[in-house]
Structure 1
Amino acid sequence: MNQETTRAQTPTPVHQFTILLSATRRGARLARLLTREQLHSWEHPFESAEQIVAELANNAVLHGHVPGRSFRLVLTLIAANTLRVEVTDARADRSPPLHPRRPSPEAESGRGLLLVEALAARWGTDLGTLPLSPCKTIWAEIDAPPCPL
């Protein structure tokens, strides 16, 4: 489900992790690895989070890159049952489509946001400004499965 609205009032986070990473392939890979380790340390293995971070970080590198600028990864665990992933890059002028389209079978790319849409309970885009520059944040929320009785 794609939501175009800005972030609603979020409950107080249980845990939060924030890091700036270089807008390079290496930075995108590091975002994925750090997500895995951080969620492991919180003892909250959201299985799809690593894949969502990989897609959003890769998009930040490919479509949101501005020379000399980093991208920011934020992981927020809310009330022990929802993980919010945010990736912020420096290209506010390049927002993703509200409804991603399936690429042709021959296409070698273009499936990332379809994957995010399939794995996340909610996702969307927030436009904002960092000190002295515009930016955009692509966010996704993943709900933990209910505990078996």
Structure 2
Amino acid sequence: MGTERDSRPVSQETSPLSRVPAPLERFFRRERRSVPDARDFARRALIGWGVLGREDDVLLCVSELATNALVHGVPPGRGFLLRLLPYGDGGVRVEVHDSGGGVSAVPEAAYAPEPGEGGRGLLLVAELADKWGVGEREPGKVVWCEFATPGAALPPRSPRSSSGPPGSSRRSAEPQTRATP
């Protein structure tokens, strides 16, 4: 039994692989200017990919996750990795990888810091993103969030992703999903 081979050239205009931009990633050192640099990197990626409609939400979440990585997840002498992954028709997944310990969770209302004291980053991410979660890596963790844009479908849930529900300090098997009105 043999296999057939199609020798016709693949059109770059019609190939599904040519329409999906490649994921982008960049490493940032443990320094204060890394947060605006990460936001600028994400902004350029979104413009290059032609992502429309959720740019402000994505960029705010990049800032919050990068800040959390620097404040809570990056030991001295290390840094964090920002990975941006496109999917579907303009959807975006943001991942921030760090090598620190700890579990990222939305603070309970009773334990949330007073206004102006910080600690609201994951509350913003939970509100703005369609899904978010925490995954394990060695060493450290990856905190991620996903944004569908008009016409984009979110990818299926990853069985290895996890996050804590609002107010939880434990990881669970299911990512957080934003409720739609």
Which TM-score tier does this pair reach, normalised by the shorter chain? 0.7 to 0.9
- Residues 105 and 39 (structure 1), Cα distance of their counterparts in 2 relative to 1, 3 Å cut: same
Larger radius of gyration: 2
**Percent identity of the aligned residues?**
35
Q: CA RMSD in A?
A: 2.0
Distance 1:80 1:66 in 2: 37
2:121 aligned with 1:112: yes
Tell me how far 1:107 sits from its aligned partner. Answer: 4.8
2:95 aligned with 1:96: no
Q: Which has the higher strand share?
A: 1
| TM-score normalised by structure 2 residue count | 0.66
For 1:86, the aligned partner's letter is E
Tell me how far 1:69 sits from its aligned partner. Answer: 1.0
**Counterpart secondary structure, 1:25:** coil
Q: Which residue of 2 aligns with 1:27?
A: 34
Q: Which residue of 2 aligns with 1:17?
A: 24
- Residues 51 and 106 (structure 1), Cα distance of their counterparts in 2 relative to 1, 3 Å cut: closer
Q: Which residue of 2 aligns with 1:79?
A: 88
For 2:40, the aligned partner's letter is L
Structure 1 stretches (4+) deviating beyond 4 angstroms?
A: none
After the TM superposition, which of the residue ranges 13-22 and 46-55 deviates more from structure 2? Answer: 13-22
**Counterpart secondary structure, 2:107:** coil
**Greater RCO (Cα-Cα under 8 Å, separation 6 or more):** 1
Q: How many residues align?
A: 130
Distance 1:88 1:22 in 2: 12
Distance 1:104 1:95 in 2: 18
Structure 1 unaligned spans of 5+: 1-11
For 1:140, the aligned partner's letter is C
Structure 2 unaligned spans of 5+: 1-16, 153-181
Distance 2:115 2:39 in 1: 27
